[in-house]
Each structure stands twice: as C-alpha cells, then as structure tokens.
C-alpha cells in the first residue's frame, strides 16, 4: 500500500514540477521513514525509467532524492540509477531507434562523431558536464558512435557526479527553492563548463607539447 501511494503521489501529470515535489514532500518523507529499503528501491527504479525514457525532470527528481535520503545514499542511488538509465537509452538508440535518430539529429550526430573520433572519452566527459547538449540527446547520439558500453558507463557516471552532488545537496533545502536557477547560477554553469573542458584542454596541450618537443 505504501509503495502504491508513493507511485500514485509521484506520477500525476505534473509530478516532476518543483511545486508538486514541495506539496508531497512531507508525505514522502514519512513513507521513507516507515519503509527505508522499499522507498530507496522504488526511487531507484523510477529514476532509471525517467532517465531511460528521456522523461523531462530528472534534475527535479534528483532534488527529491536530496530531501528524502542522506547525502551519501542519495549519491549512490542517483549516480547508479542515472547511469543505468542513460546506458539503456544509449543501447535503445544503437539497436532500435538508429534510423530515426540519424535522420532527425544528423547535424548534431556529425559533430559528436567527429569529437569522439578526435578525442574519444574526453569528448563524452565534456558533453556530460557542459550544458551544450541536453542529457537525453547525449544518450541518443552516443548510441550511434563506436563508443563501447563499458567506457560509456564509467565516463558518464564520473562526469555526472558533480551535478548529482550539487542537486542532491540543494534538495536538502527544497522548501526554500523557487526555481532551478536558484541552484545552477551562471557562475555554477561556467564552473561545470570549465571542468568539462579541462580534459580536452589538457589533452590538446599535452599533444601539442609532445609533438613540438619531438
């Protein structure tokens, strides 16, 4: 019954809105206290579905994790659920939706393929951290590259970790938030962009220095 209540509470049409999360925050916290293991498993499963199906609102669902679970538990749940969902979306793109995605996102796919060919894992790491490409688009386009599943998994998990921690920590003060802009300020977006570019810049500098010294 508790699990049904949580699903019913979380899945109205506007369930991934900030106001909806605030409205149901107390009831969900009480359910988590009554059934900690079941609520964690349910949260994990719903997060995987949201990520795999590219349902808008993963950031808000991460905020919810911050208000329902301790930070360490939220990091484990969100990190593995988001990476699993992203990997399922990538595999769906690779084996089921390939033709449609190639037609619809041909220009973006060309850019991503060139980046992967030139810089491999570093390019995916940058895409994950920088707000240039939406989360779902990175998943879909990666499925049409030659990137292996294992490498895709660990790069995605590592690159998504900073934003995961930021949103989970912000979720501890859910009641004070008025919009996602309260979390991702221009300064924060700039910092994440720099972090994403760091491996690419380091690789470029190393390559240039190495070749010039020989």
d(CA 126, CA 212): 26
Question: What value does the mean pLDDT take over residues 159-181?
Answer: 78
Distances (CA, A) of 83 to 3, 51, 67, 175, 212: 24, 8, 21, 27, 39
Host domain of residue 188: 2-212
Average pLDDT, integer, range 19-30: 84
pLDDT surpassing 50 at residue 8 = no
At which residue do the structure tokens 């996102």 appear? 105
The SS3 assignment for 143 reads coil
What's the total number of domains in the chain?
A: 1
| Contact (CB, 8 A) for 86 and 136 | no
Q: How many other CB atoms sit within 10 Å of the CB of residue 52?
A: 21
Alpha carbon 17 to its chain's center = 17
The end-to-end CA distance of the chain, in Å, is 69
Distance, C-alpha 55 to centroid of its chain: 11
Instruction: Determine the pLDDT at residue 101.
Output: 80
- pTM as predicted: 0.77
Task: Tell me the C-alpha distance between 54 and 28, whole Å.
Answer: 24
Average pLDDT score over residue span 91-111: 83
């Amino acid at each position: 019954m508790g699990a049904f209540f949580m699903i019913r509470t979380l899945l109205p049409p506007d369930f991934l809105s900030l106001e909806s999360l605030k409205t149901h925050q107390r009831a969900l916290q009480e359910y988590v206290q009554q059934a900690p293991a079941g609520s964690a498993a349910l949260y994990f499963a719903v997060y995987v579905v949201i990520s795999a199906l590219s349902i808008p609102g993963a950031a808000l669902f991460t905020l919810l994790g911050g208000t329902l679970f301790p930070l360490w538990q939220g990091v484990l749940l969100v990190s593995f659920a988001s990476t699993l969902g992203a990997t399922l979306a990538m595999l769906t793109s690779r084996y089921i939706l390939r033709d449609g995605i190639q037609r619809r996102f041909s220009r973006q796919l060309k850019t991503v393929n060139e980046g992967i060919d030139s810089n491999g894992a570093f390019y995916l790491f940058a895409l994950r951290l920088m707000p240039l490409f939406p989360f779902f688009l990175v998943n879909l386009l990666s499925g049409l590259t030659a990137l292996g599943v294992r490498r895709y998994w660990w790069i995605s998990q590592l690159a998504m970790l900073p934003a995961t921690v930021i949103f989970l920590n912000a979720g501890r003060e859910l009641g004070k938030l008025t919009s996602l802009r309260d979390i991702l300020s221009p300064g924060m977006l700039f910092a994440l962009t720099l972090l994403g570019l760091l491996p690419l810049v380091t690789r470029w500098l190393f390559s240039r220095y190495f070749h010039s010294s020989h």
